Structure 1
Amino acid sequence: MALTEKEIARYKHPIAVPGMGVGVQEIFKQTRILVVGTGGLGCPVLQYLSLSGIGVIGIADYGVILEEDLHRQPIFQMQDLRKHKAKMASSRLWASNPWTKHYPLLLQVKPDNVMQLLQGFDLVIDCSQHLPTHLVINDACVVQGVPFITGEVHNWVSWFGGFNMPDGKGGRTASYRCAAGTVDGYRNYDAGSLGATHGLTGLGIVNEVIKYLAGVPGGLAGRLYHYDHLHNSVETHGIVPDEAIILQTQAHGLLTAAAYGLEIVPDVED
């Protein structure tokens, strides 16, 4: 899908970066990414995916905008309070970049709809910061062969990783379930959240997505990153696929909401 003259003019600075060029920018335009969650992590992810020129972005969120969350959700404004996050995010993002298509999906991701929801997307970024949702999306991505990125922010620390991604040998990297033990060690449920740590983590995810789409070796595929933003330290883990876990996921497919520990919310009334 070729860039128009106006798009080439808009993206002239990214195109000028060594290793990028018009060809990579055209890859961005052809890419379809589903982002689940428009909270503190989803907002910076959505903003910079859109500004980078990703062609189609699905925005799945059933929640509404609350004032107490605005410190870490810079897409939204005071006049947006109590409005649907997905719809307002789509509107704000279009105002910044009308060349990208932004589709609001006012729904809860759950076993009943996730398989259909993934259809047509090249990559899923789960910004829900919700373990049952991570597992639902992971299982659907393993069954359908869709690359999956997720992460969480806890106070001063955060983590994110790339799962079920092409390994360059015709196979796939580890699933999220393969990394569960490592991830659990990084969770910190003390109260409070900082906007800056959410922003840093979201931008880190988008930077890795850009590298992945540009064909830069290494990066997110099969790796998990842990950041301590208070002490400016980072740890990188290589996640080894557990074939038994992956085969079991493929065989069982989607479980019930109860098995995931997922509380089903009423459908959104628009």
Structure 2
Amino acid sequence: MALSEKELQHFKHAIAVPGMGVAMQEKLKDTRILVVGAGGLGCPVIQYLSSSGVGVLGIADYGVINDEDMHRQPIFQVQDLRKHKAKMAASRLWASNPFTKHYPLLLQVKPQNILQLLEGMDFVIDCSQNIATHLVINDACMAQGKPFMIGEVHNWVSWWAGYNIAPASGDAAASYRCSLELTDEYRNFDAGIIGVTHGATGMMMVNEILKYIAGVPDGLANKLYSMNYLHNAYLSHTIYSNAAVIADTLEKGLLTAEEYGLDIVPDIED
């Protein structure tokens, strides 16, 4: 889709980056991304996806804004307390970039609605930091052939990875279920959340998404990245596709919420 004169002006500095240009900005405008979670990790992800010019941004979150969370969700303001995250995020993002269509989805992602949410989307980013939700999204994206990304932050350490993206080598694309043993090594559920580690990780995730949309080979394909912010240790892991795991996932399809261990919350009446 061609850019308007106002869009050309708005994104002129991004367009000027070598390797980007008008064609890349138009490609971003044609991209539709679903982001699950508008919390500490989701906030920087949706902010930078929007400011980069992604055409359609679906924001799925059923939660409300709490005072104790604002240190890692700077998109929100004190007057937003107790309001729905997705709705307020869409409003704030439009105020800085009216060219992106921001759709707030005030719902919990679950087996009953995930396939509908995936319709028309080009990419899914799971910022829920919830294993059961990761599995729902994995199984649905594998069934629908959708590329997706998952990220988590635990204290000083974070990880993010691309799934269902075939590498240029011709190897099979890996799923989230193929990397469970590796991701478990990065989980530390001690109390405490640092805002800056979420912000930094979210920006790293968006950087990889922009490279993926631009066609940079193998940045996300079968890769898991981690960052230890306390010790400045950045690692890159190769994820290997497990054919048996993927075949089993495709055969079973979506499971029930109970089988995923997903606690269902009541639908929001808004």
Instruction: Say whether the fold is shared (TM-score over 0.5).
Output: yes
Offset of residue 116 of structure 1:
1.0
Q: Tell me by how many angstroms 1:167 deviates.
A: 2.8
Distance 1:131 1:12, change over 3 A: same
Aligned counterpart, 2:223: 223
CA distance in 1, matches of 2:265, 2:170: 39
Distance 2:119 2:109 in 1: 13
Once the two structures are TM-superposed, the CA of residue 145 in structure 1 deviates from its matched residue by 0.3
Task: Calculate percent identity across the aligned residue pairs.
Answer: 67
Query: Residues 208, 90 of structure 1: CA spacing in aligned structure 2 closer, same or farther, 3 A cutoff?
Result: same
Tell me the amino acid that sits aligned with residue 262 of structure 2.
L
Q: Distance in 2 between matches of 1:30 and 1:171?
A: 28
Give matches, 1:56-95, under 5 Å: 56-95=56-95
Runs (4+) of structure 1 exceeding 4 A deviation are 169-172
Distance 2:141 2:205 in 1: 18
- 2:210 aligns with 210
Give the partner amino acid of 1:79. Q
Separation in 2 of the partners of 1:170 and 1:233?
A: 30
CA distance in 2, matches of 1:166, 1:177: 16
Provide the rounded CA distance (Å) in 2 between the counterparts of 1:7 and 1:159: 33
Q: Residue 262 of structure 1 aligns with which residue?
A: 262
1:186-230 C-alpha deviation (Å, 9 max, x unpaired): 100010000000001000000000100011122111100111000
Matches within 5 A, 1:75-154: 75-154=75-154
Q: Structure 1 residue 32 and structure 2 residue 32: aligned?
A: yes
| Amino acid paired to 1:46 | I
Shift of residue 168, structure 1, vs aligned partner: 3.7
Assess if the C-alpha contact under 8 Å between 2:57 and 2:100 holds in 1: yes
State the TM-score, normalizing by the size of structure 1: 0.98
Q: 2:35·2:46 contact (CA, 8 Å) conserved in 1?
A: yes
Instruction: Name stretches of at least 5 consecutive residues in structure 1 with no aligned partner.
Output: none
Residues 1:3 and 2:10 aligned together: no
Separation of aligned partners in 1, 2:242 and 2:123: 21
Q: Say whether the 8 Å CA contact 1:147–1:166 is kept in structure 2.
A: no
> Is the contact made by 2:167 and 2:217 (CA closer than 8 Å) also made in structure 1?
no
Deviations 1:222-246 (A, max 9, x none): 1001110000011110101001111
Could you tell me whether the CA contact under 8 Å between 2:168 and 2:218 is conserved in 1?
Answer: no
What is the aligned partner in structure 2 of residue 233 from structure 1? 233
CA displacement, residues 121-167 of structure 1 (integer Å, 9 cap, x when unaligned):
00000000000000000000000000010110001000000001133
- Paired with 2:202 and 2:173, the residues of 1 have a C-alpha distance of 22
Amino acid at match of 1:121: M
Q: CA 1:97–1:172 in structure 2 vs 1: closer, same or farther (change >3 Å)?
A: farther
TM-score scaled by length of structure 2: 0.98
Q: Which residue of the partner structure matches residue 49 of structure 1?
A: 49
Offset, 1:268: 0.5
Report the secondary structure of 1:201's partner residue. Answer: helix
How far residue 44 of structure 1 moved from its aligned partner, in angstroms, is 0.1
C-alpha change, 1:84 and 1:172, in structure 2 (3 Å) is: farther
One-letter identity of the residue aligned with 1:224: L
Number of the residue aligned with 2:165: 165
Unaligned ranges ≥5, structure 2? none
Taking the aligned partners of 2:169 and 2:263, their CA distance within structure 1 comes to 38
RMSD over aligned Cα atoms: 1.0
* 1:184 aligned residue: 184
